[in-house]
Amino acid sequence: MPNIIDELLNKESFTREDLIILLQADAVQRQQIYTKAAAIKEEYVGKKVYFRGLIEFSNICAKNCYYCGIRRGNKKVERYYLTEQEVVDAALYAWKEQYASLVIQAGERSDHTHTRNITSLLRRIHHETNGEMHITLSLGEQSEETLREWFDAGAHRYLLRIEETDQALYRKLHPNDKTHDFTTRLNCLYTLRKIGYQVGTGVMIGLPFQTIENLADDLIFFRDIDIDMAGMGPYIEHEDTPLWEYRDLLLPREERFNLTMKMIALLRIMMKDINIAATTAMQAIDPVGREKALKVGANVTMPNLTPVKYREGYLLYEDKPCVDEEADECKNCLEARIKLSGDDIGYGEWGDSVHFRGRRK
Ligand code: SAH
Ligand code: SF4
């Protein structure tokens, strides 16, 4: 006798109501979702895991998101900004290790000094790696002009999490002002698409006030705007942020982790050929969290290449893992973990989203 979860998993396409049921799957039922997602992953994107070397370029941020440890209002944080040479060195390390892809992430700044620095960096990395290093940016909301300039200088992918698609909840998580406007963030995703970037977005899971219905709507949003890449992770509280006040409303961390696993698996089933990241925040909750994510549908992971002396400065949330490991240790550790989980590593390959390639044809 097929059970309700099996029946839903065999449908062509999920409705909002289906997703609400699936997201509430219990410990036994969720294994059915994971098994289906793993099979789809293997069929559509293969067993390869792509490494993206992550450079946390700067923790200087002009914004004040209520959840984030490096928000402008947190005066306890010592701010840093990597030199161009430090980034180029990390890029060359990644190139030598055949990662073929880099993520440059930072707090949001749109002043000219910063945007020009990024342009110059992109040109240098492009030049010094013979154009072989693909670059993903995760630098927050920017003007169309800036995003075009970066695209022309060699960036091809952009990650901008919508964070939460319910606008009322979005307002609760951000100051209610012009620099934290939901529509501006959404429009930025459309601009990225128009320019030609591979576009990634995502949400945090287990936020205070967030409901299962919100998460179902988030998944539908990803499908509707037809993303190429996704990065989703559990929300993890940070003492020096305004949301700390609501920590008693949170699900236990393990449940936030399980919900994230379900979100990843369901998204893999819904959007078969996109790239999905196994995010660092998963490992903050479970020591093998990233590997678990890879088993249920994720196919990208990001070894940290930020020089170790800066890592303590980039604590978006509590218990962030790998803050004291050199790039080599990070790589070896991840490599061993991925092999254990039965996947192969796509060294020397760009690992473009298959979905993106399909759309361009
Ligand atoms: N400033 C850029 C990129 C850096 S922040 C931006 O905001 O887009 C990268 C991501 O960290 C954010 O998109 C957010 O989803 C995540 N993040 C911030 N605080 C977090 C927390 N407390 N728990 C989990 N993830 C968090
Ligand atoms: Fe800044 Fe990004 Fe943190 Fe918001 S989430 S405060 S934009 S670094």
In percent, the amount of the chain with pLDDT more than 70 equals: 96
* Pairing of β 198-201 and β 204-205: unpaired
Q: What angle do CA 322, 251, 297 make, to 5 degrees?
A: 55
User: What distance separates the 2 farthest-apart alpha carbons in the chain?
Assistant: 64
Name 73's Cβ contacts closer than 8 Å, sequence gap at least 6.
64
252: which DSSP letter? P
Pairwise CA distance, residues 265 & 294, whole Å = 10
- Across the range 323-332, mean pLDDT stands at 72
- Taking 70 as the threshold, does the pLDDT of residue 360 lie above it? no
- Other Cβ atoms closer than 10 A to 14: 20
Taken in order of first residue, the domains within the chain and their CATH numbers are 4-360 (3.20.20.70)
Indicate whether residue 108 lines ligand 2 (CB < 6 A): yes
- Ligand lying nearest the CA atom of residue 160: 1
More confident residue, 331 or 313: 313
pLDDT digits (tens, 9 = 90+) for 108-167: 999 999 999 999 999 999 999 999 999 999 999 999 999 999 999 999 999 999 999 999
Nearest CA to ligand 1 atom 6: 140
Pairwise CA distance, residues 83 & 318, whole Å = 26
- Taking 80 as the threshold, does the pLDDT of residue 337 lie above it? no
pLDDT digits (tens, 9 = 90+) for 161-176: 999 999 999 999 999 9
- Cα 252 to ligand 2 centroid, rounded to whole Å: 24
Tokens of 101: 């892809």
Pairwise CA distance, residues 125 & 154, whole Å = 9
User: Which of the four pLDDT bands, split at 50, 70 and 90, describes residue 325?
Assistant: confident
- Cα 39 to ligand 2 centroid, rounded to whole Å: 35
Indicate whether residue 316 lines ligand 1 (CB < 6 A): yes
Indicate whether residue 65 lines ligand 2 (CB < 6 A): yes
152 contacts 167 by C-beta, under 8 angstroms: no
At 300 the pLDDT is: 94
The Cβ-side half-sphere exposure at 223, using a 13 Å CA radius, reads: 19
Atom of ligand 1 nearest to the CA of 203: 15
Pocket mutation for ligand 1, best pick of 173, 204, 257, 283 (most atoms within 8 Å of C-beta) = 204
Mean pLDDT of the chain: 93
What amino acid is encoded at 188 in this protein? C
- Across the range 310-317, mean pLDDT stands at 91
DSSP 75-96: TTSPP-B--HHHHHHHHHHHHH
User: Which of the four pLDDT bands, split at 50, 70 and 90, describes residue 348?
Assistant: low
- Taking 60 as the threshold, does the pLDDT of residue 87 lie above it? yes
Pairwise CA distance, residues 118 & 160, whole Å = 17
Pairwise CA distance, residues 190 & 35, whole Å = 33
Atom of ligand 2 nearest to the CA of 61: 1
